[in-house]
Amino acid sequence: MDEMNDGANPRHSRADIATGNASLYLQQLCKHFAHKLDVEFDKQVGSVRFSIGHCKLLAQDGWLRLCLDAPDSDALQQLQEVVERHLVRFAFREHLSIEWRRDFPVRDSR
């Protein structure tokens, strides 16, 4: 667990990814994770509940936003790696630039 964070304050991160296929990737990620996890989604908004945290997805014209929250920094790092690895696999035809920025609180967009 993160020494600076005892789990009482969740950790957050966000990535805004430029892509013309945002809705497609959102749906692919959500459908894939829905085989084992609690998932809700439509063409523009998605929500995936992992055992280690939560991922919200938002697809807009030209970009995909991923917002993550987890109980500590270690779980957040693991969640970032899982989501990024799956996104890169689905987006193998294009080179995505994925840069995570930490400490952005996840807000309910539904």
Closest CA relative to residue 54, chosen from 42, 65, 67: 67
Q: How far is CA 21 from the centre of its chain?
A: 16
At 4, which amino acid appears?
M
Compare 18 and 1 and report the one with higher pLDDT.
18
Task: Give which of 82, 91, 98 is closest to 23, Cα–Cα.
Answer: 91
**What's this model's pTM, rounded to 2 decimal places?**
0.84
- Portion of the chain with pLDDT greater than 90, in percent: 83
Superfamily of domain 11-102: Alpha-D-phosphohexomutase, C-terminal domain (3.30.310.50)
Residue whose C-alpha is closest to residue 107's, from 50, 45, 52, 51: 45
- pLDDT, tens digit, for every residue of 61-105? 999 999 999 999 999 999 999 999 999 999 999 999 999 999 755
- 109 falls in which pLDDT band (50, 70, 90)? very low
- Please determine, for residue 110, whether its predicted confidence score (pLDDT) is greater than 70: no
